[in-house]
Amino acid sequence: MTEQGLLSLTGICKSFPGCLANDNIDLDVAAGEIHALLGENGAGKSTLVKIIYGVLRPDRGDVRWQGEVTRIENPAQARTLGIGMVFQHFSLFEAMTTLENIALALPPEDPEALRVRLQETASAYGLALQPDRHVYDLSMGERQRIEIVRCLLQDPQLLILDEPTSVLTPQETEILFETLHTLAQEDRAILYISHKLEEVRSLCDRATILRGGRRVDDCLPAQETARSLAEKMIGKKVQQVSRLSPIDSGSSVHLAVSGLNIHSDLAHGIDLTDISLEVRAGEVLGIAGIAGNGQIELMGALSGETGSPLAGSISILGTNANQLNPTVRRSLGAVFVPEERIGHAAVADMTLVDNSYLTGDTRLNFSRRGLIDWPAVARYTQNVVQNFDVRTTGVDALASSLSGGNLQKFIVGREILQEPSLLVVSQPTWGVDAGAAAAIHEEIQRLVSTGVAVLMISQDLDEVFLLSHRIAVISQGTLSTAKPIDEITPEDIGLLMGVRHEALPEADHATA
Amino acid sequence: MLRLEPRSTQSFAAAWLSPVMALVLTAITGGVIFLAMGKDPSTALYIYFIEPLTTTSGLSEVAVKAGPLILIGVGLSFGFRAGVWNIGAEGQYIAGAIVGGGLAVYFYESESTLLLPAMLVFGMLGGMAWAAVPALLKTRFNANEILVSLMLVYVAELLLVHLVQGPWRNPQGWGFPGTRMFPDVAIMPLLFSGKRAHLGTLITLAVPFIAWFILAQTRFGFTVRVFGSAPLAARHAGVHGHRIIWHSLLIGGGLAGLAGVIEATSTIGQLMPNISPGYGFTAIIVAFLGRLHPVGVLLAGIAIAVTYIGGEGAQISAGLPKAVTGLFQGIILFYLLAFDLFTRYKIILPSRRTAAQ
């Protein structure tokens, strides 16, 4: 399958203030292959593809396109050369139709002719599209198809996809993979960026692995295990996380939500409709779902940061918490880890000590005669740093100076050491390196084994299956009935992801 | 084309060096301007920046002038840290002078020693009441506090003019706008005979340190700091945004009101239309020049006060126009903003980039 090098990079270097994003990277992509670019967050994958697509220019190194040294000045030139790219975040106008969005990106053309071309291309690759539907109506998978078709209409030789499955259901992922195989059979090359190992193993012909801005290995994913790929990616042995602790069926309910309705106060928020759930002591309830289906609203409702419920109730350790603010909920025994690390869970330009005080004051009472006992806060912070292996120059380091993984370990540790009865955590390992993720998973399991109840909202299905005793799926602001882990498969979850879980009338969005 | 690139780290030293550099460059620019006006720059700069600090009466004048700037600046720095933009301290200053001074107008024959403390309290309440309007409109209707507080400045100015020309006009004042002179018990005691530094000056010196303590050591101070840099994190910590908006506006208004009534009870001794040479606005420069840090505001207040006193000296002995004071304050702010830009960004020259490729 590797005939002639279509794209070949040699010695690519690119630095940003304070970081060498690409350090002497070589990469060869041949026509007709699906080539994975594998690496953790911050390994330099995005920088490298932005160089190929002309968004960034390398400081040093050569880009050869079809054998010739080429300077790619901008994305328009990249498209002319035959390079197409689908970004992780789509660039579509929600108020326009599929056809209009595609027409905007192409040279002027008769709309009816374009409609015919669009439908031909879409059906040739099995990408179902309805040209006249508005984008705001479409699922993430459908939106991605628009982006892909838009690229294909320009007949690219190389198609770059940046983390394409992060917004897709398992079923949508399968459709995408079929399309990509068809494209590869036509001798087009695909550069596939991912950190999902199983996906790369099943889809890709070759893989280039980046770590810390360097190319560390080239391999044939089919001959590797997920574990060996992970070890190449993070550069050390991966610890296997132990199995679930059993739950005592008679244990008490630490969090009970019933019939909860909440009107979202975000601009494009999702209203929560009739949410009911229960988490018992010593149990992890995992809530799967694609981003933007009400997870932010659910987290806000549980932590008490957003408006009070229109209907239903939230009960924390037996106390009705509907009208309680986060501080009172903490004093009841709940702790919270929101999804966004910087600016929500932690303040970037404050020290770790300040950030410990931020949420720790209620349960640990750092006040002495109305004043803050800073030495006590510093001791507590030191404790978190040591117990959770937070790599930092000291407790007085700014939160912004920590890597994503270390900051997340700090945040999770800060909450766990408060000895809660209930932990509500959203995306516990989103965007952190594999080593930190494993450490966080282990801590959550240890916490649960001591009888703490955990509600975990996560988009990462592997994580949900790894940690949860029961799983529910959030979709369009509704929640499916939670099922024990041995009674539910990833395919079931995929089916639950696209639907509203109750036949309820559409909520009125006009006031949102 | 020049490009700006964010620096990966921001140095603490650079943040404090930039106001110092701004002052130095202001002096140099001032020298150039004096030269262009046909004055000897070294003499003019000496009169302007050094002379006020060489005599005890000069120092006393600087302290008197710095007082209101520091009080208002410290109050504003609370709000600015929390991201609450109270631009109307001038109005709150006037409101404080009206409400506090009003007591002396009504009890003009009083001999009670309680009158002065009562006036100070009323002055603070007056400033707070004036600041409560933007707080209420902001929290209730999400009205922009910049506009509301700024517009209330003009309301306060006109209210003062109305009072001193109408109901509160001094019956023995030959028709001049102004109230009766305050009774002796309503006048700030002087610290040294023959100098204008007064008891209020001491209050002014204490306030920045109290504010520093509150910011660093209390939960309230902590929440103000968090709310300004990460409102979502503040909410996560259980802090209600509305409460911070109210508190920071009331503190800003209260201290501005206190400054107003101290000014009325010390150097002026009555209410009249021009009780402020724009202290409320200049204090915004002071707050930023002091890096929104209470002790920094203290130093910045003194530096700006020197430009006021030096400006007066320059008018008298060097024949320079009064506008030079405002000019200097503008230049300081300009340089400060420029240096702040360079502490956060670095300039990429086009030549360097092509050379690298």
Q: Domain residues of chain B, as ranges?
A: 69-278
d(CA A408, CA A340): 10
Residue A245's pLDDT band (cuts 50, 70, 90): low
d(CA A52, CA A82): 11
A324 domain-assigned: yes
Q: Which of A17, A344, A367 sits opposite B219 (nearest CB)?
A: A367
Task: Mark whether A39 and A128 lie in a shared domain.
Answer: yes
Q: Which of B217, B233, B357 sits opposite A347 (nearest CB)?
A: B233
Closest to A361 measured CA to CA, from A331, A339, A382: A331
Task: Mark whether A343 and A485 lie in a shared domain.
Answer: yes
Which residue type does B270 have?
Q
Task: Mark whether A175 and A208 lie in a shared domain.
Answer: yes
Q: Which domain holds residue A132?
A: 5-234
Percent of chain B residues past pLDDT 90, beyond the cut: 49
Please count the structural domains in chain A.
Answer: 2
Residues in chain A whose beta carbon is closer than 8 A to a beta carbon of chain B? 16-19, 59, 303-305, 325-328, 330, 336, 338, 340, 343-350, 354, 357-359, 361-362, 367, 370-372, 374
Average pLDDT for residues A287-302, to the nearest whole number? 89
| Residues A385-398: tens digit of each pLDDT | 999 988 888 898 88
- Nearest-5° angle of CA A147, CA A152, CA A154? 110
Closest to B121 measured CA to CA, from B105, B94, B101: B101
Q: Do B236 and A326 touch (CB under 8 A)?
A: yes
Task: Mark whether A324 and A464 lie in a shared domain.
Answer: yes
Residue A241's pLDDT band (cuts 50, 70, 90): low
A511 domain-assigned: no
Task: Mark whether A346 and A493 lie in a shared domain.
Answer: yes
Interface test with A, best of B226, B227, B236, B348 (most A CBs within 10 A): B236
In whole numbers, what is the pLDDT of chain A averaged over residues? 86
What does the block give as tokens for B32? 């150039």
Task: Mark whether A114 and A160 lie in a shared domain.
Answer: yes
Distances (CA, A) of A266 to A293, B317, B344: 13, 62, 31
A98 domain-assigned: yes
Q: Sort out which chain A residues have CB atoms less than 8 A from B357's CB and list them.
A: 59
Do the beta carbons of residue B180 and residue B268 sit within 8 Å? Answer: no
Q: Which of A234, A262, A284 is the last residue of a domain?
A: A234
| Per-residue confidence (pLDDT) for residue A243, from 0 to 100 | 58
Q: Which of B8, B222, B229 sits opposite A17 (nearest CB)?
A: B8
Residues 6+ apart with CB under 8 A from B208: B70, B74, B294, B295, B297, B298
Task: Mark whether A263 and A206 lie in a shared domain.
Answer: no
Residue A511's pLDDT band (cuts 50, 70, 90): very low
| Min distance B233 CA to chain A CA atoms (Å) | 4
| Min distance B4 CA to chain A CA atoms (Å) | 12
CA-based Rg of chain A, rounded to a whole angstrom? 24
Task: Mark whether A196 and A274 lie in a shared domain.
Answer: no
Give the number of A-B residue pairs with CB atoms closer than 8 Å: 71
ipTM reported for the complex, 2 dp: 0.80
Q: Which of A201, A234, A267 is the last residue of a domain?
A: A234
Report which DSSP code applies to A342: B
In whole numbers, what is the pLDDT of chain B averaged over residues? 88
For chain A, the distance separating the N- and C-terminal CA atoms, rounded to the nearest angstrom, is 53
Task: Mark whether A336 and A420 lie in a shared domain.
Answer: yes
| Residues B30-72: tens digit of each pLDDT | 889 888 888 888 888 888 888 888 888 889 999 999 999 999 9
Q: Do A348 and B356 touch (CB under 8 A)?
A: no
A502 domain-assigned: no
Task: Mark whether A280 and A310 lie in a shared domain.
Answer: yes
For chain B, the distance separating the N- and C-terminal CA atoms, rounded to the nearest angstrom, is 16
CA A461 to mean position of chain CA atoms: 10
| Min distance A79 CA to chain B CA atoms (Å) | 24
d(CA A394, CA A363): 24
Looking at residue A447, which CATH number applies to its domain?
A: 3.40.50.300
d(CA A402, CA A352): 10
Q: Which of B9, B218, B237 sits opposite A358 (nearest CB)?
A: B237
| Residue of chain B whose alpha carbon sits nearest to that of A16 | B8
**Looking at the predicted structure, is the pLDDT value of residue A503 above 60?**
no
Task: Mark whether A212 and A298 lie in a shared domain.
Answer: no
Task: Mark whether A337 and A486 lie in a shared domain.
Answer: yes
d(CA A333, CA A253): 13
A243 domain-assigned: no
**Looking at the predicted structure, is the pLDDT value of residue B355 above 60?**
no
Average pLDDT for residues A13-40, to the nearest whole number? 87
- Nearest-5° angle of CA B178, CA B182, CA B186? 145
| Per-residue confidence (pLDDT) for residue A108, from 0 to 100 | 84
Average pLDDT for residues A308-334, to the nearest whole number? 92
**Looking at the predicted structure, is the pLDDT value of residue A248 above 70?**
no
